[in-house]
Chains A and B, each alone.
Chain A
Amino acid sequence: MSFKAPRILPALTVVTLAAGFILVFYFAPNDADQGFIQKIFYLHVPLAVCALVGFMVAAVQAILHLRSGDPGWDARSYVSIHISVILGVAVLITGSIWARASWGKWFVWDEPTLVSFLIVFLLYCTYYPLRYAIEDRERQARYASVFAITAGAFVPLNFLAVRLAESLVHPRVFATADGGLTPKMTVTFLVCLAGMALLWQTLVRFELAAKSTRARLARLRRALDQDAVAGGSRIAPVPRRASGAG
C-alpha cells in the first residue's frame, strides 16, 4: 500500500473553488424570497452532496476490499469516510446557520434532508470507536468494511423513511433548493459542486499519502530497532562527536 500526494489536483481545486465563490458573490442573483442568506446554499448543498457521495464511495471501496483482500481498499474506504465525516460537520454547521437565518431556529425537525443527514452523520461517527475497538489489523479492516457496506445500504433507506415521515405533515420548505433555480444560479451551483468534489478528492489523496508515509516510517523505525537489538546493525549509528560541529 503506497499512496503519493497529488500535485496538479490541489491547484485545480483552488482555482475551481475560487471561481465558484466569485460566481456566488458577483454573478448569481440574490434569491427573491430569502435574499442574501440563500447564498449559503452554494456551500451547504455541495458539502452535503459530497459527504453523502463519499459515504457511498466508501461502501463500494469496502466491497472491493472484501472481494480482493487488498488492504489498500480498506485504507481508501477509511479515508473516504473520514473526510466525509469532516465535511458532515460543516454540513450541519452551515445548515444550522441557514435554519437560524430563515426560521430563527438552529435546528428544524421538519426539514427531512437535514434530519436524515443528522442520523447518517451519527451513524458514521460510530465508525471510529468501532475501528479502534478491534486490535488485529486484518480483522479491523474486514469489520470496518462490513460496517461501511451496511451503513451504505442504510443511507438511502433512511432518507426514504425520514422523507415519508415529514412530507405527510409539512409541505417542502426549500422549494427553491430543488426546482426554483434560475439558469445563473444553476451554473454557479454546478461550479461550486465541482469545486467541492475536487476538494474532497484532494483531501482524500493527501490523507492517504500521509497515512502511507506514517506506516512506512513506522516500518523503517521497527527495522532499525530490530537491527540494533540483533547487534548486527547494517546502518552504523552516527558517532556524536564526529557529526557535531565540535
Chain B
Amino acid sequence: MSMESALEPSTAAGTHGGPEAVIALTGVRRDYGERPVVSDVSIELAAGQTLAVLGPNGAGKTTVLRILATLLRPSAGGVTVLGARLPSEAWKARGRIGYLGHQPLLYRELTVRENLGFNARLHGIERPEARIEELLGRAGLARRGGELVRNLSAGMLQRAAICRALLHEPELLLLDEPRSHLDPAAGVIVDELLGPERGRSRVIVTHAVEAGLVEADQVLLLRADGIVAHAGPVAALSPGDARAVYGGAVR
C-alpha cells in the first residue's frame, strides 16, 4: 500500500464491501408506524454499475431509493453510500447524488431557469449559466426555460426535473421511474441524458422489468410485502423469482 492511499481518509473503512462499493446495504429495514415497509435488504453496488430495483406497487422501492438519497433514515441496518455511513454521515454524500423522484422537486411559481439557478446556488456551483443552458439544450427545453414550472406539461416537467438532478454532475444517480410521462422520442433523449456516462453509478426503480434488466448489473427484487425476493447480480436471477413476485405477468 502506498503512502498516499494509506494517508487518504479512507472512504472504504466504513463500508461493508470492497473499497469500490458505491452502495452497501446490510439488513436494512424501514418501518412506517409499526409496520415494516421493507425489511432485511442487503445489496452492494460497485462504481460504474447499475442497480435495478424491481417489484410490484407498494413493495417499498421508493423507500429504498429515498434511504439511499439520504432523505429517509433507515429504522435498522447499515447503509453506506459513496463512503458515507447513513444517517450519521449524510453530509458527506449530499451534493454528490442526483435524485429523480416521483415529485419533480421544482418550485411551481419559478421558471425552469430560476429553479435550476436556485439548485446551482444550493450546490455552490460557480457560474452555472453555461451548464444550465447545456442541459436545457440536451433535454430539448432550450425554448421553454423561461416558462413557469406550473405551466409545463407532465413530460416537460419530467425533463426539467432530470436537468435538476444532473445539474451538479452527481457521481450516483437515483432514478424513480425516469421514463414516466414521456413519449417515445422524449424517452430516447432521456435515456441519453441518464446513461452510464463517465463511470457514474445508477440505481433505477422501474416497472419496465425487461428493459430494466437489460441495463442492470445488479438487481434488487422486492415482493409486495417488502421482503427481498432476490438481491445480487442479474445473471443469478432465476425466472422463478420474478414469477413469484409478479405472478404470471412477467416472462
- Say if the beta carbon of A218 comes within 8 Å of chain B: yes
Contacts of B75 in A (CB 8 A): 138
In contact, B33 and A136 (Cβ under 8 angstroms): yes
Q: Are A218 and B32 in contact (CB under 8 A)?
A: no
In whole angstroms, how far apart are the Cα atoms of A136 and B34 in the complex? 9
Q: How far is the CB of B31 from chain A (nearest CB, A)?
A: 7
Complex formed: what's the CA distance from A137 to B32 in Å?
A: 8
Say whether B34 contacts A138, CB under 8 Å.
no
Query: How far apart sit A222 and B73, CA to CA, in the bound complex (Å)?
Result: 23
Q: Is the interface of B mostly helix, strand, loop or mixed?
A: loop
- Return chain A residues, CB-CB under 8 Å to B34: 137, 218, 222
A 111-157 contacts with B by CB, 8 A:
135-138
What is the distance, in angstroms, from B159's C-beta to the closest C-beta of chain A? 33
Measured in the bound complex, the distance between the Cα atoms of B72 and A138 in whole Å is 11
How many residues on the A side are at the interface (Cβ–Cβ under 8 A)?
6
User: What distance in Å separates the Cβ of B60 from its nearest Cβ neighbour in chain A?
Assistant: 15
> Quick check: B33 and A135 within 8 Å, CB to CB?
yes
Q: Do the beta carbons of B33 and A137 come within 8 Å of each other? A: yes
Contact partners of B73 in chain A: CB under 8 A: 138
Which residues of A lie under 8 Å from residue B33 when comparing CB positions? 135-137
Give every chain B residue within 8 A of A137 (Cβ-Cβ). Answer: 31, 33-34
Give residues 186-226 of A contacting B (CB, 8 Å).
218, 222
B36 to chain A: closest CB distance in Å? 10
- Closest Cβ of chain B to A211, distance in Å, is 15
A135 proximity list for chain B (CB < 8 A): 32-33
Closest B-chain residue to A135, C-beta based? B33
- The docked-state distance in angstroms from the alpha carbon of A137 to that of B33 is 6
Q: Mark B62-90, 1 if CB is under 8 A from A, else 0.
A: 00000000000101000000000000000
Task: Name the A residues within 8 Å of B31 (CB-CB).
Answer: 137
A135 to B33, CA, bound (A): 6
Residues of B within 8 A of A218 (CB): 34
A136–B75 alpha-carbon span in the complex (Å): 11
Q: In the bound complex, what is the Cα–Cα distance between A218 and B34 (angstroms)?
A: 10
C-alpha spacing A204/B141, complex, angstroms: 62
Q: How far is the CB of B171 from chain A (nearest CB, A)?
A: 28
Contacts of A222 in B (CB 8 A): 34
Interface residues of B in 91-122 (CB under 8 A from A): none
Cβ of A138: which chain B residues have Cβ within 8 Å of it? 73, 75
The docked-state distance in angstroms from the alpha carbon of A222 to that of B34 is 9
The distance in angstroms between the C-alpha atoms of A218 and B73, with both chains bound, is 23
- Which of A136, A218, A222 is packed against the most chain B CB atoms within 10 Å? A136
Question: Smallest Cβ distance from B85 to chain A, in angstroms?
Answer: 13
The distance from the CB of A218 to the nearest CB of chain B, in whole angstroms, is 7
Q: Mark A155-190, 1 if CB is under 8 A from B, else 0.
A: 000000000000000000000000000000000000
A135 to B35, CA, bound (A): 12
CA distance A138 to B73 in the complex (A): 9
Minimum Cβ distance to chain B for residue A139 (Å): 9
CA distance A138 to B32 in the complex (A): 9
Chain B 11-32 interface 0/1 with A at a Cβ cutoff of 8 Å (1 = within): 0000000000000000000011
3 closest A-B pairs by CB: A135-B33, A138-B73, A136-B32
Q: B residues bordering A, Cβ < 8 Å?
A: 31-34, 73, 75
11 pairs of residues in contact across A and B, judged by CB atoms under 8 Å: A135-B32, A135-B33, A136-B32, A136-B33, A137-B31, A137-B33, A137-B34, A138-B73, A138-B75, A218-B34, A222-B34
7 more CB-based (< 8 A) A-B contacts, given A135-B33, A137-B31, A222-B34: A135-B32, A136-B32, A136-B33, A137-B33, A137-B34, A138-B75, A218-B34
